[in-house]
Structure 1
Amino acid sequence: MTVAFSGEDPYRRSPFAGADICAEAGLTLPASAPRPLFEHDRWDFTDVIGLPVQMSMVNRRFVFTTIAEPRWRLLAKEQIVAMLAPRHDAVALLPRGYRTPLHLNTAKARLDELTRFLAWLTERQITSLAVVTDTDCENYLAHRRYLLDDNGHVVGERSPATRRAAAQIVVDLINHRELFTSDRVTATLRPWGGAAPSAIAEMPSGTGQNKTQPLDDTVLRPLLSAATYLVEVIAPHAITLARQVADANRKWSIRHGAHTPTGRLPLAEFLRLLAGYKRRGEPLPMLPEHWVRRRITQGWSPQDPLVAISLGVLARQAGFTQFMTDWLPHLRPRVEATLNLVGAQRQFARDAALVGRADTGDQVTWTVPLDREQAVAVVGIVRTAAITLLAALSGMRSSELMELQVGCCRPPERHGPDLVRYRLASRVVKGQRLGGVADEWVVIEPVYRAVQLIERLHDNPEPGALLLGRFAFDVRSTWLRNWVNGPTGQRLGLASIPETAVSLRALRRTLAIELAYRPGGMLAAKWHLKHIAVATTEGYVSKPGGAQAELLTEVNKHEADRNLELVWTEFRNYQQGIMPAGPGARELTEFFAHVDGELFDPAAPKTQASDREILDLLTKRAHTLHLGTANYCWFTDPSRALCLKLAGTPHADRPLAGMCDSARCPQATHHQHHRPVWAEHAQQTKTFLGSLGTTRRTDKARLQADYDRALRVIDAIDAAAATDLPQDHA
């Protein structure tokens, strides 16, 4: 179907003709950078100042040549300018035009979707937007909604975001129709009854729609254990290895070093080189395995003693750029003779130091000898381990990690013995103006050390250089997992990591949930969660409204959900006859009885029956709940809190978990899932009692009282339960 454009003036000049796109959009370019003009078919924004590091190179280049029809190519350019420069005179007059500039990332996504739509129209022989109907728009949405196999059968459905993008393109063509000079949709086009793109795409609305799942503990624990081992045990050796690789690159790489090309046979130079190897007893360098396989494919015999020898490295050590093939017959006898004397080995980490295995502590060499590619890979693995700790224990977004620069570690602030505050300087780009906003994160010491390690492993650690740059963490985490699960990681005693995808979003969400649900889970065995919680809170207090405050807000949201869920569970236990124990049990039971009476009081004018109404009654009590390691603290009255009395701070607004004595505090309760903690404590105390000699009467009396208290708590928990539990604390 071919229909000519039916606009009022098909030959009118575009209002953006000759425009400097960056000038119109308010984007700053270096003076020497080429400036994209409206007539160009390729707009390159690569050098725009202030673009986030996270933004990929492909998203910085807008290519219009993929739109074959020249009229539609002009339309696409006008559409994109309208999005980037909504204050332009031609755009500001549009009643439904944009009023706020879109980010380049968003504009690029719109261009890609518009290109798809125009290509889809072309496939259906539609060559003018003037004939596009509501049905065509609905068909395109259906085309983008479903995934088809090779036979055209539906095998899945795309995300609501994809559907919204498809609907948004049509809506943009309608809203900007008066702007277009080469083609436009009709004024009567009104697909989906004029609904908003989000409604058309059935986008979920409201809060609580975070679909990023936290990492399971079976994945998180071995991942962080491996990362910790690499950062604390292997990193010092990896730093030395990185220096050795850099030094070898300067001396012996094909692009560097003091070597020159030559065509003559360098017999004298090779004789001196081989004599040095014999004198030092140094093994000859070996090739990487894939180069050995390549030689065999090219005709070398697998039994050739020189098939695995790096002749190129030998040539450069002798002072020449490369080893010429016609040298081999003349040099083979000398090289083979040297090989028979000193052997061959990979170049790096030949005398690796001993380290303790992660599982048993037995001494093993930290690595086997490595060729250059393997050495570079090991350094990269250690760098990935440091990035993993940085991301998992700080909660920084990927964009904030990529904005880190060399020198981002602020000097530690010392506020007393063992009271040190560590800060990282970064930039927040999400939701901010171009260039972002400077921000600082308060972190714990392991994160600070991980960043310092990354700086030491940096190829060019000049102040202001990007520390990490743009990186794909999912790829890096896969490399780390394969290395840990491979021969090297297993030789070091590292626990295998399940083959589950790990993303930076998942690490951030896991941290938020672990902080909110502490002490029910452990982010890592080595770090107590309260240290991370303190750092997160300090970051909020230090810079309110910063990115760390947003993380704390997410934590608080999870914490509120957790408290309500726990109170709901205990209320259901109460209804089933499973009662709480502890000094505060009576008060909590009376509260549950009151709620239960509100629900089923026959004299009440209305029966509260739904779960929502029950939760409303429990919400106020949930706000007072604080988790202890072996108890619940119902902080309803600060004046009654034993921990605050002991600390001399009766007016504090939060309990002091470190001073909790839940066996005596009137606001503490014990529940069935606390029983294993008390049982383990009782067993350990009993073991210590048995190991004390007769002369240590004071220690024995103290431990005996502690043991008796644990038994009383266990007995009280058992007595409050509706079912009999095994007495395993004796």
Structure 2
Amino acid sequence: MTSAFETAAQSAAVPGDSLVLAGRPLRDYAVLEETSRYAEDVWVLTPAWLRADQKTVRLDFTLLPPVMVDVAKPLFFALLTQDTPPGELPLAIDSVRTYFGCVRRFLWWVHGRGRTLRELDGEDLDDFHREVTALRLSGGATRCNRRAVRMFWAYRNVLPDHLGQDPLRRPLWQAWARHHRRTGGENLTDRIPEQVVAPLLSWAMRFVDDFADDVLAARAERDAIDARPPAGPDLPTALAELLDGFRRRQRPLPAAPARLASARRGDAFPSTSYLARLLGYPVHRLDEARQRQMIAEAVGDVGVDTDCPLAHAPQGQLEGRPWLERISYYDVARLERLLLVSCWIVIAYLSGMRDSEIKHLQRGCLSVQQAPDGHVYRHRLASLAFKGEDVRGAEATWIVTAPVARAIAVLERFQPEEQPYLLAPAPSSRYCSAFPVPDSNTTNRDIAFLISWISTYCDDRGRPDGIPRERGRLPRLTTRQFRRTLAWFIARRPGGAIAGALQYRHQCIQMFEGYAGTSDSGFRDEVEAEQALARGQFLAEISADEDRPTLVGPAGAEAEARLAEFARHTVFDGQVVTDEARLRRIVARHDPHMYLGTFITCVYNPERALCRTSNGPGDGQPVLADCQPLACRNTALTPANYQALSGHLTKLEGALANSDRLAAYVRHRLEEQHRETAAFLARHAPETAE
């Protein structure tokens, strides 16, 4: 056992005045000599966090058992200075903070057992592992706790007290790792249900396209009121003129927001603070007896309103009527918040960008490509990407659609000229941080605020397009879910108004032109993973259906054989595997490489695929853009495929019925396509029961 003297001596190997962020890149304003030192109880890591969207990051060693501080400090000093032993990877600043929480859990557990790290045996490590897994954390959180424990073995050369054995050699730890292997590219974030994302996106786009002008006009009026100079040197005279104006227009005096409920009951509580703003005087000047008497007399003449309406009349329309009757001075800040988060939602959901990438959008980030006639055919969005990149981020470009471009245009109008970040909070916001843009937790709260506003707005007006509740509660969404949901919809392209309105396939094509910058978004991988799962679900269902018609076509027999083999892994006792995680693993290992399309089902074999010239021999997927379905031997037909082709043949016949109006070349191509399609359907007609 290590003595207290030995522990103190080893801990002293790191001088107390050592700078814990030495060697780390710092923010421009940071001075290394002013950053945290080893002997301090709290290490502030914020200067080494280079992104614009994060709260203060620090390690507070007072939260650890006092006897364990001298064990933890050398570990985190090594992590921060990136003095990593063989086999250990350097950690980013946010990861260091995450592991601090896991280390804290472990050290309190050790302290509760009254032991040192060296005294822990294999059974102790197994007990801690069981306790962590019993918490039912996510796989990533459990891995983090496991790695935090192992650090006390991996970094043993710099620690005064460390584990006496490698936890990963324990059978229990190995068994957990085998059953919880990482699945590359798999996104386990819950997607947003269609019945939620459809109205949410619709309302967000309304704010961007229809309501933004009203919000910005109301803000301009509010700011002009706040900047008013005194109406004149004589306050009583100026107040009398203001009150006479209310009398002439027969308008009630503005109501104090805090007294709104009382005002509705008939109590008179005029807003002296708002009247003072209209006069350009400080509010305390209206507390004098003469001014109070003048206001009371005006209340007797015209009464008190229910709020403090601005002069701007809302112009945005909902079904031919203004979306708001009027806008209150005190509602402007809330409307700014709603507009800002609406722009975030439109960008996030229609671009596939991560929250950190959106938060780093700056003025001038949008560029367009135009045809000679001025038509804009491509919008490019530039920002910084951080996933898998340097801590400072890498420049990257996204291909986006027109709604995203309109949201960017609104944000550039929303932000003051001197503010480069488009997602910075409004100047009137209560947001207070050393960082120019809010973090994801703040955005999560703003999304919840928008959902609540939509629900209240629709309930008050009897509208059917609100956000549906689940078990009586409104949904709580996170920034991570939007990218995941977009990938799901692109892969599935389900029916319904939202799918038709957004043209997910078009969205897919545009975004799949790729990150044109130095970073790979990984979004294509997420969509392809969703497409693989969708294929697996469909193939599992039809392979389990014993009453379905047999697939026909050149590859019909091979399709049936592949389905039978796939059923061996997905159908048990007549029941199809429905667990998504399990089905993902099955598809990854036993993919039958059958790709369902509207007109044909591709039973992919690269050796005979006519699209392989573009795709390259041996590739695992067909290139659908180069598909030659009527000539390729990989083609199979489901009943739905046969019906779709028959319907296409009928449309060709309708077009050829008016062939006299067609150009000769067009008529020839349609006749040729009709002949080939009819012959193909005749050769591969499904068998009918006699």
- TM-score, with length taken from structure 1: 0.72
Q: Quickly say closer, same or farther: Cα 1:195–1:329, change in 2 above 3 A.
A: farther
Verify the 8 A CA contact 2:371 2:377 in the aligned structure 1. yes
- What does residue range 383-462 of structure 1 map to in structure 2 within 5 Å? 383-414=340-371, 418=375, 420-458=377-415, 462=419
Matched residue SS, 1:410: strand
Distance 1:677 1:327 in 2: 82
Question: Given the alignment of the two structures, is residue 109 of structure 1 paired with residue 88 of structure 2, yes or no?
Answer: no
Verify the 8 A CA contact 1:168 1:197 in the aligned structure 2. no
Distance 1:698 1:635 in 2: 40
Q: Quickly say closer, same or farther: Cα 1:365–1:609, change in 2 above 3 A.
A: closer
Task: Determine which of 556, 573, 588 is the counterpart of 1:589.
Answer: 556
The residue aligned with 1:82 is: 78
Task: Determine which of 470, 477, 485 is the counterpart of 2:455.
Answer: 485
Query: How far is the alpha carbon of 1:446 from its aligned partner?
Result: 1.1
Encode CA deviations 1:295-320: one digit per residue, 9 max, x unaligned.
x6xxx996432x2x211111233343
Encode CA deviations 1:661-698: one digit per residue, 9 max, x unaligned.
x999998776455799899999999xx99xxxxx9x98
Task: Determine which of 54, 63, 67 is the counterpart of 2:64.
Answer: 67
The residue aligned with 2:255 is: 286
Matched residue SS, 1:239: helix
The residue aligned with 2:614 is: none
Matched residue SS, 2:37: coil
Amino acid in the other structure paired with 1:103: A
Amino acid in the other structure paired with 1:106: S
Task: Determine which of 156, 159, 170 is the counterpart of 1:180.
Answer: 159
Distance 2:523 2:107 in 1: 41
Question: Given the alignment of the two structures, is residue 497 of structure 1 paired with residue 458 of structure 2, yes or no?
Answer: no
Query: How far is the alpha carbon of 1:190 from its aligned partner?
Result: 5.3
The residue aligned with 1:51 is: 50
Distance 1:191 1:335 in 2: 78
Verify the 8 A CA contact 2:214 2:316 in the aligned structure 1. no
Query: How far is the alpha carbon of 1:269 from its aligned partner?
Result: 3.7
The residue aligned with 1:539 is: 514
The residue aligned with 2:527 is: 555
Task: Determine which of 473, 478, 500 is the counterpart of 1:525.
Answer: 500
Distance 1:495 1:565 in 2: 31
Matched residue SS, 2:337: helix
Q: Quickly say closer, same or farther: Cα 1:424–1:579, change in 2 above 3 A.
A: same
Matched residue SS, 1:242: helix
Query: How far is the alpha carbon of 1:551 from its aligned partner?
Result: 0.8
Verify the 8 A CA contact 1:346 1:369 in the aligned structure 2. no
Amino acid in the other structure paired with 1:180: L
Query: How far is the alpha carbon of 1:454 from its aligned partner?
Result: 2.2
Query: How far is the alpha carbon of 1:612 from its aligned partner?
Result: 8.0
Range moving further from structure 2, 608-617 or 448-457: 608-617
Identity over aligned pairs, percent: 20
Range moving further from structure 2, 400-409 or 608-617: 608-617
Amino acid in the other structure paired with 1:320: Y
Query: How far is the alpha carbon of 1:378 from its aligned partner?
Result: 2.3
- TM-score, with length taken from structure 2: 0.75
Matched residue SS, 1:62: strand
Q: Quickly say closer, same or farther: Cα 1:111–1:215, change in 2 above 3 A.
A: closer
Task: Determine which of 507, 523, 532 is the counterpart of 2:482.
Answer: 507
Distance 1:594 1:437 in 2: 48
Encode CA deviations 1:10-64: one digit per residue, 9 max, x unaligned.
477323442122224454663557221212222222233x62234332xx12222
Verify the 8 A CA contact 2:491 2:531 in the aligned structure 1. yes
Amino acid in the other structure paired with 1:241: A
Amino acid in the other structure paired with 1:117: F
Amino acid in the other structure paired with 1:304: D
Distance 1:135 1:639 in 2: 58
Q: Quickly say closer, same or farther: Cα 1:375–1:684, change in 2 above 3 A.
A: farther
Verify the 8 A CA contact 2:129 2:146 in the aligned structure 1. yes
Question: Given the alignment of the two structures, is residue 222 of structure 1 paired with residue 219 of structure 2, yes or no?
Answer: no
Question: Given the alignment of the two structures, is residue 231 of structure 1 paired with residue 238 of structure 2, yes or no?
Answer: no
Verify the 8 A CA contact 2:312 2:327 in the aligned structure 1. no
Matched residue SS, 2:63: coil
Query: How far is the alpha carbon of 1:438 from its aligned partner?
Result: 0.9
Question: Given the alignment of the two structures, is residue 610 of structure 1 paired with residue 568 of structure 2, yes or no?
Answer: yes
Amino acid in the other structure paired with 1:497: I
Encode CA deviations 1:621-674: one digit per residue, 9 max, x unaligned.
62xx4623x6657798999999xxxxxxxxxx84559x99x9999987764557
Range moving further from structure 2, 442-451 or 13-22: 13-22
Distance 1:416 1:635 in 2: 42
Query: How far is the alpha carbon of 1:552 from its aligned partner?
Result: 1.4
Query: How far is the alpha carbon of 1:432 from its aligned partner?
Result: 1.5
Distance 1:7 1:489 in 2: 69
Verify the 8 A CA contact 1:42 1:64 in the aligned structure 2. yes
Task: Determine which of 254, 263, 267 is the counterpart of 1:304.
Answer: 267
Encode CA deviations 1:334-355: one digit per residue, 9 max, x unaligned.
4443563476353345553455
Amino acid in the other structure paired with 2:188: K
Encode CA deviations 1:445-479: one digit per residue, 9 max, x unaligned.
11111122122223566335655722434322222
Amino acid in the other structure paired with 2:240: L
Amino acid in the other structure paired with 1:477: I
Distance 1:347 1:682 in 2: 65
Task: Determine which of 261, 272, 278 is the counterpart of 2:241.
Answer: 272
Range moving further from structure 2, 346-355 or 111-120: 346-355
Amino acid in the other structure paired with 1:268: T
Verify the 8 A CA contact 2:357 2:383 in the aligned structure 1. yes
- What does residue range 9-48 of structure 1 map to in structure 2 within 5 Å? 10=9, 13-27=12-26, 30=29, 32=31, 34-48=34-48
Distance 1:592 1:546 in 2: 39
Verify the 8 A CA contact 2:190 2:484 in the aligned structure 1. yes
Distance 2:226 2:68 in 1: 51
Distance 1:420 1:228 in 2: 21
Q: Quickly say closer, same or farther: Cα 1:388–1:271, change in 2 above 3 A.
A: same
Query: How far is the alpha carbon of 1:422 from its aligned partner?
Result: 0.7
Matched residue SS, 2:59: strand
Distance 1:345 1:679 in 2: 65
Q: Quickly say closer, same or farther: Cα 1:28–1:175, change in 2 above 3 A.
A: same
Query: How far is the alpha carbon of 1:406 from its aligned partner?
Result: 2.6
Query: How far is the alpha carbon of 1:491 from its aligned partner?
Result: 3.5
Distance 2:266 2:55 in 1: 48
Verify the 8 A CA contact 1:412 1:421 in the aligned structure 2. yes
Amino acid in the other structure paired with 2:73: K
Verify the 8 A CA contact 1:3 1:131 in the aligned structure 2. no
Distance 1:640 1:36 in 2: 63
Range moving further from structure 2, 23-32 or 507-516: 23-32
Matched residue SS, 2:381: strand
The residue aligned with 1:605 is: none
Distance 1:421 1:138 in 2: 57
Query: How far is the alpha carbon of 1:439 from its aligned partner?
Result: 0.7
Q: Quickly say closer, same or farther: Cα 1:51–1:225, change in 2 above 3 A.
A: same
Q: Quickly say closer, same or farther: Cα 1:319–1:350, change in 2 above 3 A.
A: closer
Encode CA deviations 1:554-600: one digit per residue, 9 max, x unaligned.
22333344445545655556x635145xxxx432434346668x97x
Encode CA deviations 1:473-492: one digit per residue, 9 max, x unaligned.
43222222222222357649
Distance 1:507 1:422 in 2: 20
Distance 2:341 2:171 in 1: 46
The residue aligned with 1:153 is: none
Amino acid in the other structure paired with 1:223: L
Q: Quickly say closer, same or farther: Cα 1:441–1:610, change in 2 above 3 A.
A: same
Distance 1:494 1:379 in 2: 25
Amino acid in the other structure paired with 2:362: Q
Q: RMSD in angstroms over aligned alpha carbons?
A: 5.0
Matched residue SS, 1:539: coil
Distance 1:590 1:142 in 2: 50
- What does residue range 217-366 of structure 1 map to in structure 2 within 5 Å? 217-251=194-228, 266-279=235-248, 282-288=251-257, 290-292=258-260, 303-305=266-268, 307=269, 309-323=270-284, 327=288, 331-332=292-293, 334-337=295-298, 340-341=301-302, 344=305, 346-348=307-309, 352-353=313-314, 355-357=316-318, 361=319, 363-366=320-323
